[in-house]
A and B are shown apart, each in its own frame.
Chain A
Amino acid sequence: MAEERYPINIWVNEERYEKLREAGLADLCEEMLAGLKVIRVYANDAQKDKILKAFPTAKFDSATTKSIELLPKDVKDKMFDLIVQKKSVEILDEFLSNY
């Protein structure tokens, strides 16, 4: 059975979109909820547990969206910068190695 994966939604405001566009990465964005741009980074079970432990304000929305939400903005900024640097959304291993 495929391993369950849980998205972290990095919502893209104008500032983030500009950085993506400059890096030629605008295609990484998906469109959701009537026009919101989002980049989705996927965590496996172990990564999800590590994130929830490292960032106590984070919450796994088990009831509705099965996504990891409420990470502090500065944490998402760091993830976002890593995505731009790596030109990929596969950044969680490297990101979590610091925690």
Chain B
Amino acid sequence: MAEIGHGGKEIVERIMEPSEAKEKIKGLKQVPIRSQIANEVIGISYGFFSPLEGFMGKADLDSVCKKMRLANGIVWSIPILFDMSEAELSDYGIKEGDSIVLTYQDNPFALFEVEEIYEYDKKEICQAVYGTTEDKHPGCARTYAYKDKFLGGKITLVNRPKINPPFDPYFIPPLEMRKRFKEKGWVRIVAHQTRNVPHTGHEWLMKGAWLQTYGELSIEKPIVGVLVNAIIGEKRKGDYIDEAIILCQDELRKAGYFGDHNHMTSLTFWDMRYAGPKEAVFHAILRTNLGLTHHMYGRDHAGVGTYYGPYDAHKLLESVKDELGITPVYSMNWLYCPHCGEVTSEGLCNHRDEWQKFSGTVIRSIVMDGVKPPRLIFRPEVFDLVMECAEKYGFGSPFVTDEYLEKRTPVFSVEPLE
């Protein structure tokens, strides 16, 4: 049976078998790509970005900017673009109608059928997508860093990436993910978007969203799950290392705060744009394709600085919810109340003067100061694993350092095409 993704379109993996690929790419021009583009090639070819079949042409980009829709009318909020400079186009001799091989880590990775080469005002993209043209907004900075020409056309993966340990069990593309959900017997699955090592505020966001998602369903057997979908992409110094994020998220299940019957951890390759409301819609699309039925959104989802109001994402989602294949679940913050002696929801507890709010940033600060947070705030199994990851993967630090950026094992490798 066809698996239907975002926009009502069937999810189709755009992946060529190696024997066919070897023949197909023979003699084609080879163009190396950077990690952001490699992440997006994976997103397109495995169906995370369905119904996209490649990098956007001008009609799609224009429509995304002006209407938050693809040219065919399907809701889409973030441009997926392939850029090159005029000089590179000339040096490689690339023109519309060419097929080229995208290489990553010096090996063939994907076939790119270049249908269109065009220009677009980057400031217009920024204003439309991020609501600002300030280059200190990380999404704008990424947009301004694009070279001056965009290439649109279909992508087909010719060489599957090898996902390196410890990430390999967590790369579960849409078609495989949907099989797993069926095996578990889950009829509703709620997404938890993360780039963080979980503290108990996150744990309760998940637990709260699970309860909200369960709603009127029968409780005779477990039929609702939480999917942690960690975004793995470009790292900044001071972030938690990727290994700590993915392993600690899974540790909540392994240590019994959740179980196999209601919790699973996975990853998606994506370089965050911090587009707030627009990124929230994009996350809804990603998780629809992964087969989820619900998506949890807290305050200020995927925002940065003070560019967006805390509920802007919720409002934008509401405006298109009939066209999304996923139901948003809105969550209030969880905090510590010394009067209650527990982590509680700001929507429940009324000891407002006593509330102690905490965030991932605060917990990172505590860990950086060499202090072990109390178990009500940060689970001891998670803390111990963070420290283990620091030794095993982080060159002594659980946070990204220059040394980590230089020496870490990549999350995935592209090997020679056999």
Contacts and interface: CB of A to CB of B under 8 A. Distances in A.
Interface of A: 9-13, 15, 32-36, 57, 59, 61-65, 67, 69-73, 76
A33 B341 CA distance: 9
Interface string B353-394: 000111101101110111101101100000000000000000
Contacts of A59: 238, 361
Contacts of A36: 366, 371, 373-374, 377
A10 B369 contact: yes
Contacts of B237: 57
Interface string B226-262: 0000000000011000000000000000000000000
Contact of B374 (A34, A63, A76): A34
Contacts of B374: 33-36
Interface of B: 237-238, 299-300, 303, 305-306, 310, 333, 336, 338, 341, 356-359, 361-362, 364-366, 368-371, 373-374, 376-377
Contacts, number: 74
A86 to B, nearest CB: 20
Contacts of A71: 365
Contact of B365 (A62, A63, A64, A69): A69
A10 B366 CA distance: 8
B370 A64 contact: no
Nearest to B341: A34
B313 to A, nearest CB: 13
B40 to A, nearest CB: 28
B371 A12 contact: yes
A34 B237 CA distance: 29
A72 B365 CA distance: 9
Nearest to B336: A33
Given A59-B361, A69-B364, A64 B376 contact: no
Given A72-B368, A73-B369, 8 more contacts: A33-B356, A33-B373, A36-B373, A61-B359, A62-B306, A64-B359, A65-B358, A73-B368
Nearest to A64: B359
Contact of B366 (A11, A15, A64): A11
Given A12-B371, A13-B371, A69 B305 contact: no
